[in-house]
Amino acid sequence: MEGDSTAETAARVAAGATAVGWRRGAGFAGVAIGVVAAGAAVGVGLERLTVGRGVRRKARLELDAAGPFGTLRGTPGTAIADDGTELHYEVEDIQQQAPARRKRLFGRRTPAPVTVIFSHGYCLAQDSWHFQRAVLRGAVRAVFWDQRCHGRSARGRAQMEGVQVTIDQLGRDLKAVIDAAAPEGPLVLVGHSMGGMTMMALAAQYPELVRERVIGAAFVGTSSGKLSEVSFGLPVVGVNAVRRLLPGLLKALGWQAELVERGRRATADLFAGVIKRYSFGSKDVDPGVARFAERLIEATPIDVVAEFYPAFVEHDKAEALPVFDELPVLVLAGDKDLITPMEHSEAIAEVLPGASLVIVEEGGHLVMLEHPEEVNGHLIDLLAKAVGTDTPRAASGGGGNGRRRSARG
C-alpha cells in the first residue's frame, strides 16, 4: 500500500515476487579465492557443513523456488562502451500514480527531475540492489546496470582479446551508460564496492561531467585505494601467502575455466561457512538473502573473477575524490566488512570533510542486502538533500556531517 513503511514496502515486494533461474557453482578454487579477492559471495550458513548433501540441496531448491530476489525488472536498454562492449541497463521511471510514496520519501515538496544511477560490486549484478530498488520504485527515476562481464552485460570485447580490465575502463563504461540512459538532467550516483571505484574513475576522467550534472553521491562499502594492504581477517602468515600466490593462481584458474566450474559445483557446500564470513557481519542473516547472494556469485564465471582481480590491486583513485567535494555525499560501511574495511570508508570521508559517514553495526561487505532498512533510510536522506527537500531524519540533523554509528533497529 502507498502508506507502507520502508520495511513493509520491501517485505510486500519480496512476498509477491517469484524467483528466476540461476546458474550454479561455487567451490574453493573459484569462490573462496574470489571472495578473498573482493568478497561478493555468501552461503546459507555454517549448519550446511554438518547436514547431509541431499538435505542441503533440497533446502536450496526450496529457497530458489520461493525466493523473491532478483525479480524486479525495468525498461531494458543497451549502452555501447568505447571498446564496443554491450552494457545492459534497466530504467525505473517515476510512476505518476504514486504521489503518496514520493511524499513519504521526500516530504511535501516534489523532488526535481533527477536520475539515480546504481553501480554494483565485483561478482554481483544490478539485482544486488534489490531492496533499494523496491523502496524507491516509482518514486524517482533510477537506472540499474550490469558492469561488463557481469549479469546481463556482454563479456568485455577487449578482455576477449587479452586486454586486462582496469578501473578506468569501468569509469568509461559508466559514462557510456549515462550517455545512453540519462543524457541530460541532474544525477545522483550510488556505488557499492567496485561500483564506488567506478564512480571515482568517472570523476577522474570526466570531472566536468560530475561538476555540471552530479548533485549527490553515495559510496557504499568501497575504497579509494590500498586494497593490497587488506588482511581479510587472516593472520599475517596467511595474508602474506594470499598476496603472494593469488594473482598467479587466479590466472591459472582462468585458463582452466571449464574444469574449475565443475569443481565449484562439486564443492559448493564445503566452504559455505567461509564464504558467508566474507559477506555478512551479523549472525542472523535471512537464509533467503544469503541464498540470493550465493546465486549471484555462482553466476560469475571463474575467468571473470580472474581477469578483474588485478584491477583492484592497482586501484588508486584518492586524487579523484575532491571532484565530489561540496556535494551531498554519503559514505557508508559495515563495521565488520573484511573486504573493504570501514577504515577505507573513513579515509574517503577524510578527503570529503562535508560527507556524511555512517558505520553500520554488525554489517559486512554486502551491507545493502544485510541491513537494507538502514541503507535505504540513509539513501533517502541523501536524495532528499540532493534534490533540495527534507525528510524528518534529515531535518532533525540525522543527515549531518561526521561519523555516525547505525545500530540495527
Dist. CA 62–CA 288, nearest whole Å:
10
Share of the chain above pLDDT 90, in %: 51
Give the per-residue pLDDT at 301.
85
Give the per-residue pLDDT at 294.
86
Give the per-residue pLDDT at 387.
85
Dist. CA 299–CA 37, nearest whole Å:
17
Dist. CA 268–CA 24, nearest whole Å:
9
Mean predicted confidence (pLDDT) in 326-339: 96
pTM: 0.78
Residue pLDDT, tens place only, 362-393: 999 999 999 999 999 999 999 999 987 544 43
Q: Which residues contact 357 (CB under 8 A, 6 or more apart)?
A: 331, 332, 345, 346, 349, 401, 402, 403, 404
H or E, element range at 237: helix 236-255
Residue pLDDT, tens place only, 96-137: 766 676 666 666 655 557 999 999 999 999 999 999 999 999
Of 276, 278, 251, nearest in space to 29 by CA: 251
Residue pLDDT, tens place only, 26-42: 333 333 333 333 333 33
- Count the residues in the chain: 409
Of 152, 130, 139, nearest in space to 93 by CA: 139
Q: Answer whether residue 181 shows pLDDT above 60.
A: yes
Q: Answer whether residue 263 shows pLDDT above 70.
A: no
Share of the chain above pLDDT 70, in %: 64
Dist. CA 111–CA 236, nearest whole Å:
50
Q: Are the C-beta atoms of 366 and 339 separated by less than 8 Å?
A: no
Give the per-residue pLDDT at 398.
37
Give the per-residue pLDDT at 14.
34
DSSP string, 17-61: -----------IIIIIHHHHHH-----S-GGGGTS-HHHHHHHHH
6-20, 265-279, 334-348: range with lowest mean pLDDT:
6-20
Give the per-residue pLDDT at 47.
34
